[in-house]
Structure 1
Amino acid sequence: MPPKQSLSMAWLLQYLRPVKWRMVLLLFMLLISIALQLVNPQIVQRFIDQATGSGTVSSLLALAGLYLVVAVLNQLFTVALDYLGNDVAWRSTNRMRADLLKHTLRLDMRFHNRKTPGEMIERIDGDVTHMSNFFGMFIVQIVGSFVLLTGILGYMFVHSLPIAATMTAFTCLSIGVMFAIRNLGVKSSQEERQANASLFGLIEERISGIEDVQANGGVPRLMNRYHRAMRAVFRSGLKAWMLRVTPWNATVILFTIAVTAVLLISVRLYLHGEITLGTLFLFFQYTQMLNDPMEQLGNQLQEFQKAKSGMLRTRELLSSRSEIEDGVEEALPDGPLSVSFEQVSFSYNEEQQVLHEISFDLKPGERLGLVGRTGSGKSSISRLLLRLYNIDDGIIRIGGVDIRSLRLKALYRRVGMVTQDVQLFDGTLRDNLTLFNPNLSDEEVFETTDRLGLRPWIEAMPLGLDTRLTTGGASLSAGEAQLFALTRVFLTKPSLVILDEPSSRLDAATEAALQTAVDQLLERCTGIVIAHRLSTLDNVDKIMVLRQGRMIEFGARDALAQNPSSEFFRLLQSDRQEELA
């Protein structure tokens, strides 16, 4: 979706097209409701005139019964309008939420590194919620208000020109004032939404790190930051509210003047015998009713200001473009894939270079072990292979194809990755193992978990694969979580696997079991293993040693391990001394 169309009426109306017939029904019901509102005061007028004149009891009872029926019908239509309006609003805005979420998920990691999940929840859900009124009731209420105004003023022009002129002047002046200052609170509403987004980001960030917060006595500092964020929300919200209600306050003052003028004119006409007591009541009632559409217009202008702030923030989000451009190439060679880095340099920001001119070749089916201190660039290489970031210089080829020319789907179909932290989702065990892929059968899942030693744990679950897991995976041990991740990769049948320190949190026994599973996985594909524990690299073919983003050593594992002058040899000696200690 081009950014220039993000806030266009055509873009907004596309979300109303699927509910257009509901909108038609909404407008039809609204016209009936307005007609009922206009009829009831006239019934009261006749009742008063007949009660003060020569009306019979039966006619008065008939009018009272008719008034009751009309009032009940009007109330039923009001309830139905509220229900249908909310239904239209949620149906249309839920599609917008889905589009925003899909767009956000396609943005690159640089964008997501700048945004907290809490802030993105507020951007995708909170901003759109403030737009829901626009999609459901804004158009209907605006149309309904003008129809009701037309009906009231039309009746008054027929029966009393002075009162009609007074009402028309009030209406035009009120509408003019409201539209003149309709954008008064838009900027403040944007600031209010941003303050809320910052608050949600703070809460999400601290809850996700609750262990560190509690263990290090960070609760008082957290509460201090929370109170400051809440103060910002309160201040921005108060300012935005005061500016949004300014149009409504202006109409209240004008309405008070209009009611006073209409009452004075009506009483004068009654005293001169030009109108009846019932007509006097009718004029007063219509004047009171005149405030309803004006108040609705004022409320809708407040909602429009909130909706417009949400639209502007939505446009800003939709205008964000991923730096990762999808390629067009679909084809990759069958079987294990080769990997080639040619003078690759990379940085997360301009201030610090992470990788410096890295070059190496990995043949199909070979296993590469990456070693180096924390921050040396090991994980960055894995992220670049998955195109989570763009490189600054150089070329990366997989299967002989420049990954920039590959479609991302084609890349992800053939490349799998096991990270240190395994994410589990709220769903069944089957859903978490297959990542919600319905095409994978239970037989395939059981065959894979049996090979990895995870099947006994699954069979011990109350409902087997149908057992529901909670988000975060608190019910799994570190070893089980890593086996989970390996199972996911196994089921995708990748041709290149990246293992990012898979045994970093495991004990020796669990690590040995996991290593057996890893060896099985790497039998049929090319592998890159990032490791702190050098024992996990016993079966790799080649070793790369990184230091401060530079490749200081690359070669066959056995040759480097037997060469006393190599960096890898020294790392092995240090590792063995630590184990003995």
Structure 2
Amino acid sequence: MPPKQSLSMSWLLQYLRPVKWRLTLLLFILLISIALQLINPQIVQRFIDQATGSGTISSLLALAGLYLGVAVLNQLFTVSLDYLGNDVAWRSTNRIRASLLKHTLRLDMRFHNRKTPGEMIERIDGDVTHMSNFFGMFIVQIVGSFVLLTGILGYMFIYSLPIAATMTAFTCLSVGVMFAIRNLGVKASQAERQANASLFGLIEERISGIEDVQANGGVPRLMNRYHRAMRSVFRSGLKAWMLRVTPWNVTVVLFTISVTAVLLISVRLYLHGQITLGTLFLFFQYTQMLNDPIEQLGNQMQEFQKAKSGMLRSRELLSLQSEIKEGDEDELPEGPLSVCFEQVNFSYNEDLRVLHDISFELKPGERLGVVGRTGSGKSSISRLLLRLYNIDNGAIRVGGVDIRSLRLEALYRRVGMVTQDVQLFDGTLRDNLTLFNPDLSDEEVFETTERLGLRPWIDAMPHGLDTHLSAGGASLSAGEAQLFALTRVFLTKPSLVILDEPSSRLDAATEATLQTAVDQLLERCTGIIIAHRISTLDNVDKIMVLREGRLIEFGMREALAHNPSSEYFRLLQTDRQEELA
């Protein structure tokens, strides 16, 4: 097993390879910039020596012009380095964000049930942003600092061995100390990131439930929890910052000692006539320049600790594996699909089983109505059919194929689902209907919406299919939302459709319109309708009654509806009495 550090580098290199040519250009400009930084103090040295000696005005002006030209050129290269450094950082870290998002979207629902959207935003964006800050100047400041240090020390060995030895000792000691304590603040930085993630999760959770918070007078209690979360963020952030700045504080002390020693040696050499005034200035300038890369290394050590905490958290997220393992099969039979449950048991957690030995079969093209009280397991059946969760034991077959042997994409391509809650995304009306599928033409969209009764609503929009919709769905009525969801499913041309209580929030007139659309949708596929109202199941072929996760009745609807001893018959009578009341 390779050491953790090499694993980190190999993990990072996969995101840096696509920008390797930009990195090459960055290094080339960096070397030129460092050379210019080393040249300028020597120009000043000659200027001072000539100004205090026998230099002419023209030679002094030439040196001044050269100094100005080198300084301007160096500034241009510095701007280029900043631009390229940030360009490389954002290109590489955006790929990390994409990998994290894609991986997160593929994780199973058990994971997503434990994580709030606010926390996941912080994990995918917040952690990576700290990595971006580090990458943005890593090449420029880390690599550049070492090259500049080498250049300065190389020059000093040419001019004065005692001063070079002093500066080398300071440099080695400073770099050694920083390297030794480079991970000092990593764990504290991880705790800081987690505190921030918890805070964002709290804010997102409460804002999404703002109606309940306001209606029940929960604002003061919410603010109390917010202040507690902020206190945790402050304390963890303060601890992390104090640990991160320790390497920098150490180098400040060492630099002060080094500068004092170099100045004392330089003044002594000047007083003994061994160096000129210009050389004395050169020693001083190089000593000051020596501080810049050391200080940059110290700053980057802080950024490194924050970045490493982000890397560790990102790799931890990427290392999580979904419990839903894809199969290898990619094909299902053409046309409507059969459905078969064979002694299926399922639980969301180990302590409470939700479904007990569920077994039933639907032939291709049949319609099944599923009824039962709240918590009887109706929605769990739909989630299992889409493999949002794994079953505990048993088997589920669609089109005669065990869904565990199918690729998820192959399953989702043929199975559609409509739920009570319809999500709108920030985008055009067309994007929301097609779920950003560019292969669906406007003609297909218009034909489908015409059949489902949604076309008049689209025509009333100011820009038709190009009308921009905001996320959340506040611009849709309950009926429009359900027709919207049906249109989405209709456009995918599924072979099996699951309708999870689609009419539970609708009035009778809107429900009738929706039922017409549902009947059209189910003409060409197998259908499973999870019903809130029994009256919506008049057109199904079979009925399944669930109670406390157990299948207590399954059969043809007509037979059960006319059998006074059946559970479905009793539910029908109760439903009719409620309507008359």
Instruction: Kindly report which structure 2 residues correspond to 1:368-517, keeping only aligned pairs within 5 A, or say none.
Output: 368-517=368-517
Q: Per-residue CA shift, 1:16-35, capped at 9, x if unaligned?
A: 11111111111111111111
SS at match of 2:440: coil
CA distance in 1, matches of 2:335, 2:139: 58
CA distance in 1, matches of 2:7, 2:391: 33
SS at match of 1:523: helix
CA distance in 2, matches of 1:315, 1:175: 28
Q: Per-residue CA shift, 1:8-66, capped at 9, x if unaligned?
A: 42331121111111111111111111111111111111222222222222222222222
Alpha-carbon shift at residue 331 of structure 1 (Å): 2.3
CA distance in 2, matches of 1:171, 1:483: 71
Asked if 2 retains the 8 angstrom alpha-carbon contact of 1:29 and 1:81, the reply is: yes
Alpha-carbon shift at residue 469 of structure 1 (Å): 0.9
The letter of the residue matching 1:114 is: R
CA distance in 1, matches of 2:3, 2:316: 8
Alpha-carbon shift at residue 142 of structure 1 (Å): 2.1
* 1:76 maps onto 2:76 in alignment: yes
The letter of the residue matching 1:225 is: R
SS at match of 1:275: coil
Alpha-carbon shift at residue 133 of structure 1 (Å): 3.9
Cα 1:281/1:6, change in 2 over 3 Å: closer
SS at match of 1:130: helix
SS at match of 2:436: coil
Task: Tell me which residue corresponds to 2:209.
Answer: 209
Asked if 1 retains the 8 angstrom alpha-carbon contact of 2:149 and 2:290, the reply is: yes
Asked if 2 retains the 8 angstrom alpha-carbon contact of 1:543 and 1:557, the reply is: yes
Q: Per-residue CA shift, 1:520-543, capped at 9, x if unaligned?
A: 111111111011111111111111
CA distance in 1, matches of 2:340, 2:358: 10
Task: Tell me which residue corresponds to 1:139.
Answer: 139
Alpha-carbon shift at residue 139 of structure 1 (Å): 3.5
CA distance in 1, matches of 2:465, 2:83: 40
CA distance in 2, matches of 1:282, 1:463: 70
Cα 1:250/1:4, change in 2 over 3 Å: closer
CA distance in 2, matches of 1:422, 1:353: 28
Task: Tell me which residue corresponds to 1:239.
Answer: 239
Task: Tell me which residue corresponds to 1:173.
Answer: 173
Asked if 2 retains the 8 angstrom alpha-carbon contact of 1:6 and 1:315, the reply is: no
Task: Tell me which residue corresponds to 1:154.
Answer: 154
CA distance in 1, matches of 2:117, 2:491: 29
SS at match of 1:396: strand
CA distance in 1, matches of 2:281, 2:3: 55
Instruction: Kindly report which structure 2 residues correspond to 1:18-97, keeping only aligned pairs within 5 A, or say none.
Output: 18-97=18-97
CA distance in 1, matches of 2:147, 2:8: 26
Q: Per-residue CA shift, 1:131-181, capped at 9, x if unaligned?
A: 124444323422211111111111111111111111111111111111111
CA distance in 2, matches of 1:465, 1:534: 36
CA distance in 2, matches of 1:317, 1:218: 33
CA distance in 2, matches of 1:114, 1:506: 31
Asked if 2 retains the 8 angstrom alpha-carbon contact of 1:3 and 1:315, the reply is: no
CA distance in 2, matches of 1:252, 1:475: 59
Asked if 1 retains the 8 angstrom alpha-carbon contact of 2:86 and 2:135, the reply is: no
CA distance in 2, matches of 1:504, 1:330: 35
Task: Tell me which residue corresponds to 1:270.
Answer: 270
Using structure 2 for the length normalisation, give the TM-score.
0.97
Alpha-carbon shift at residue 4 of structure 1 (Å): 9.1
Instruction: Kindly report which structure 2 residues correspond to 1:161-310, keeping only aligned pairs within 5 A, or say none.
Output: 161-310=161-310
Task: Tell me which residue corresponds to 1:339.
Answer: 339
SS at match of 1:131: helix
SS at match of 1:14: helix
More displaced, 483-492 or 265-274?
Answer: 265-274
The letter of the residue matching 1:333 is: P
CA distance in 1, matches of 2:509, 2:380: 29
SS at match of 1:102: helix
Asked if 2 retains the 8 angstrom alpha-carbon contact of 1:344 and 1:358, the reply is: yes
* 1:315 maps onto 2:315 in alignment: yes
CA distance in 2, matches of 1:259, 1:32: 27
Using structure 1 for the length normalisation, give the TM-score.
0.97
The letter of the residue matching 1:567 is: E
Cα 1:5/1:508, change in 2 over 3 Å: farther
Asked if 2 retains the 8 angstrom alpha-carbon contact of 1:347 and 1:353, the reply is: yes
Alpha-carbon shift at residue 390 of structure 1 (Å): 0.5
The letter of the residue matching 1:92 is: S
Q: Which sections of structure 1, spanning at least 5 residues, go unmatched?
A: none
Asked if 1 retains the 8 angstrom alpha-carbon contact of 2:186 and 2:306, the reply is: yes
Q: Per-residue CA shift, 1:191-249, capped at 9, x if unaligned?
A: 11111111111111111111111111111111111111111111111111111111110
CA distance in 2, matches of 1:159, 1:131: 41
CA distance in 1, matches of 2:147, 2:430: 57
Cα 1:3/1:416, change in 2 over 3 Å: farther
More displaced, 496-505 or 564-573?
Answer: 564-573
Aligned length: 580
Task: Tell me which residue corresponds to 1:576.
Answer: 576
CA distance in 2, matches of 1:121, 1:499: 30
SS at match of 1:412: helix
Asked if 1 retains the 8 angstrom alpha-carbon contact of 2:131 and 2:308, the reply is: yes
Q: Which sections of structure 2, spanning at least 5 residues, go unmatched?
A: none
CA distance in 2, matches of 1:505, 1:67: 77
Asked if 2 retains the 8 angstrom alpha-carbon contact of 1:335 and 1:495, the reply is: yes
* 1:525 maps onto 2:525 in alignment: yes
Alpha-carbon shift at residue 6 of structure 1 (Å): 10
CA distance in 2, matches of 1:142, 1:517: 64
CA distance in 2, matches of 1:209, 1:129: 28
Alpha-carbon shift at residue 556 of structure 1 (Å): 1.5
Alpha-carbon shift at residue 512 of structure 1 (Å): 0.8
The letter of the residue matching 1:405 is: S
SS at match of 2:511: helix
Q: Per-residue CA shift, 1:350-390, capped at 9, x if unaligned?
A: 01000000111111111111111111100000000001111
Asked if 2 retains the 8 angstrom alpha-carbon contact of 1:7 and 1:312, the reply is: no
Alpha-carbon shift at residue 123 of structure 1 (Å): 1.0
* 1:327 maps onto 2:327 in alignment: yes
Alpha-carbon shift at residue 184 of structure 1 (Å): 0.4
CA distance in 2, matches of 1:409, 1:25: 41
The letter of the residue matching 1:31 is: L
SS at match of 1:574: helix
Task: Tell me which residue corresponds to 1:108.
Answer: 108
CA distance in 2, matches of 1:83, 1:191: 32
SS at match of 1:336: coil
Task: Tell me which residue corresponds to 1:551.
Answer: 551
SS at match of 1:322: coil
